[in-house]
Amino acid sequence: MSVSPVCPRCGEVLVVRPESTAEGWCHLHAAVTPLHHTALVAHDAITAVCADARVPAWVPDPMPTDWAVTGLAWGGEPGARAIVVACAGPAPLGGSAELLLVAEEPGTGLGCGYAGLPGVDPGELIDGPSTAAVRAAGQRAPLWPVPTRDDRAAFVGEAYGVWLWLVTWPGSAAWLLAEDLGLLDLRERVYPDLPLGPTSDHLLPGA
């Protein structure tokens, strides 16, 4: 079940005109791409969003032991221009952790929203040598750390010609990147035993 769309930069509930579902109005950020999300994540919802998505829907591949998908959000419809997949499970250093995987077209501002950055794209933050990498659909994707709040870590790179963001709670959960993390694009296949869990508390920007 989809609930009220929100601003991809701050999470504010938007005013969206019925005749223009591709644009919403935020009192802080003016015209934005509405971010939709589901109250409960389900395989059929993932399949429906991926069917005409313009950007990847990334999940870890393989999924770390005892981890599950805990949220789904997408910007723009039909044809999502940004997709967020939330996952959660045991942290590499003990305790629990959450991971958000964001793919978005430039100018959307979703990754910056999760990182608490003022703009819509990372811009000059991507400079110098990368400090981490993932395997996105088998291709190496370098990642750069970006400044964010003390309770999380954020990295950004590029894959399939759009931004790729990884945001973890807590910050120490970024150790996941030390484990040769691979990513699968769910547009290729949503396997029926993809583990699902309770909805993430960090699915929306500003949380």
Query: Is the residue at 116 inside a domain?
Result: yes
Q: Which of 113, 139, 131, 119 is nearest to 174 (CA)?
A: 131
Coil, strand or helix at 177 = helix
Q: Report in angstroms the alpha-carbon separations of 176 from 41, 49, 132, 138, 204.
A: 23, 26, 10, 17, 22
Domain membership of residue 177 as a residue range: 41-185
Query: Is the residue at 9 inside a domain?
Result: no
Query: Is the residue at 163 inside a domain?
Result: yes
Q: How confident is the model at residue 1 (pLDDT cuts 50, 70, 90)?
A: very low
Q: Which of 183, 157, 186 is nearest to 53 (CA)?
A: 186
Which tens digits make up the pLDDT trace of 178-189? Answer: 888 999 999 998
The whole-number average pLDDT for the span 19-39 is 83
Query: Is the residue at 29 inside a domain?
Result: no
The pTM of this model reads: 0.94
Looking only at the bridges linking them, the beta strands covering 132-136 and 182-185 are: parallel
Query: Is the residue at 19 inside a domain?
Result: no
Q: Which of 174, 189, 135 is nearest to 157 (CA)?
A: 135
Query: Is the residue at 18 inside a domain?
Result: no
Which tens digits make up the pLDDT trace of 133-171? Answer: 999 999 999 999 999 999 999 999 999 999 999 999 999
Q: Which of 183, 190, 185, 164 is nearest to 45 (CA)?
A: 190
Query: Is the residue at 90 inside a domain?
Result: yes
DSSP secondary structure string for all residues of 15-65: B--TT-TT-EEETTTEEEPPEEEBSS--HHHHHHHHHT-SS--EEESSPPT
Which tens digits make up the pLDDT trace of 86-96? Answer: 999 999 888 99
Please, which residues bridge with residue 25 across strands? Answer: 15, 31
pLDDT at residue number 22: 65
Q: pLDDT above 70 covers what percent of the chain?
A: 96
Which helix (H) or strand (E) segment is 98 a member of? strand 96-104
Query: Is the residue at 200 inside a domain?
Result: no
Say how many domains are in the chain: 1
CA distance 205 to 207: 6
Structure tokens that stand for 21 in this block:
């579902």
Coil, strand or helix at 94 = coil
